[in-house]
Amino acid sequence: MKQKEAYTRLTDHGIKPSVQRLAIMQYLLTHATHPTVDDVYRGLCSKIPTLSRTTVYNTLRLFAENDAAQMITINEHRVCYDGDISAHAHFYCTKCNKVYDIFDEVSPLLKQDSIAGHKVTDVQLYYKGICNECLEEAASSDEVK
């Protein structure tokens, strides 16, 4: 099912499907972990031996440029990708480095067409902090002491 969804996503966004592009899009659609270029490469290189990191990088960039995927720039050292292109925010845990989808964000900024006279074409909203898992882990390790 995800293969058909991957094909449709590519063609709907004006991207010519290829074996590698389909595999990369399918990976994004089945891994909601906000993978990096290296994550996608490691996940697919055994299935597609001819795949290179450069191809993954260029393909993910192509997807982002054509709005087929979201490119999330957390900082100058971490860029990850999201196959979910619906309007939603993200939460970045500064302790474990995981990125979480936040769908219940009601910020009007996610749906603005213009702001201060400027045309809005994309909104990337993310929060930084410590996730529930890390907080619970810290609380339980404090209890042990």
Q: What CATH number was assigned to the domain covering residues 86-145?
A: 3.30.1490
Domain 1-83 has CATH 1.10.10.10: yes
Q: Domain map of the chain by residue range? A: 1-83, 86-145
Q: In sequence order, what are the beta bridge partners of 101?
A: 90
* pTM of the shown model: 0.85
pLDDT digits (tens, 9 = 90+) for 4-57: 999 999 999 999 999 999 999 999 999 999 999 999 999 999 999 999 999 999
pLDDT digits (tens, 9 = 90+) for 81-110: 999 998 888 999 999 999 999 987 666 666
Give, for 20, the enclosing helix (H) or strand (E).
helix 19-30
Pairing mode, strands 114-115 and 118-119: antiparallel
In the structure, what pLDDT confidence band is assigned to residue 144 with cuts at 50, 70 and 90? very low
Distance of CA 43 to the CA centre of its chain: 15
